[in-house]
Structure 1
Amino acid sequence: MQIETETVEQVTKRLRRAEGQIRGVIAMLEAGRDCAEVVTQLAAVSKALDRAGFTVIASGLEQCVASEDAAERATSVAKMEKLFLSLA
């Protein structure tokens, strides 16, 4: 099952922002910034990555529901549920 183009664009944009945030966290650590500030930024990066993962999973679930074959749909939904739980 492939990810829809619109979802790929959306997730890629979110991951590029997270990439910038990670570079910022590294710079903060190297500059000796306050621990609370660093942790706040790490939490923001973590949330951005989680949202990217959930967006991909939601897209996959939409495709599973649209699947016409019941057995294929059940297998795909089970796989997506397992992936969802790996992010939770």
Structure 2
Amino acid sequence: MSETPDEAPAPPHGYSPHKEAHLRRLKRVEGQVRGIARMIEDDKYCIDVLTQVSAVTGALQTLALSLLEEHMGSCVVDAAKAGDEQAKEKVAEASAAIARLVRS
């Protein structure tokens, strides 16, 4: 979808300043997941596999918390400045995201 000259560019997301760091973290996680698959293919000991699963889970949780913090610090704050209805919507989104993280 291309931008017309009259349209302003989409505002950056809260994570935009840290995008490269997040992508590096995800590439490490991707490598860890491939490593877990190899461990299972090679019939490694269950506890060793579970240890690696725990490491991946922790890395993803750290990323999720960082993204949530960035969302709260930019998107929610900006919405609060813009107006009541927009602020309520962003807070509801953040609350739903927090609930999903807590359940996972």
User: Where on the TM-score scale, by shorter chain, does this alignment land: which range?
Assistant: 0.7 to 0.9
When the two chains are superposed, the root-mean-square deviation of aligned CA atoms in Å is: 1.6
Alignment pair present for 1:17 and 2:31: no
| Distance in 2 (alpha carbons) for counterparts of 1:12 and 1:83 | 20
> 2:77 aligns to what?
65
> 1:31 aligns to what?
42
| Distance in 1 (alpha carbons) for counterparts of 2:49 and 2:15 | 34
Which structure 1 residue ranges, 5 or more long, are not aligned?
A: none
Letter in 2 for 1:43: S
Query: TM-score, normalising length from structure 1?
Result: 0.87
CA offset at residue 74 of structure 1?
2.7
CA offset at residue 78 of structure 1?
1.9
Alignment pair present for 1:48 and 2:59: yes
Count residues in correspondence. Answer: 88
> 1:87 aligns to what?
101
CA offset at residue 80 of structure 1?
0.9
- Contact persistence 1:7–1:55 (CA under 8 A): no
Instruction: Select the residue among 74, 80, 84 that pairs with 2:88.
Output: 74
Moved over 4 A (4+): none
Higher helix share: 1
- Greater relative CO, 1 or 2 (CA 8 Å, sep 6+): 1
Which structure 2 residue ranges, 5 or more long, are not aligned?
A: 1-11
Question: In terms of Rg, which structure is larger?
Answer: 2
Letter in 2 for 1:37: D
Q: Deviations over 1:45-75 (max 9, x none)?
A: 0111111111111111001124412412232
CA offset at residue 10 of structure 1?
2.2
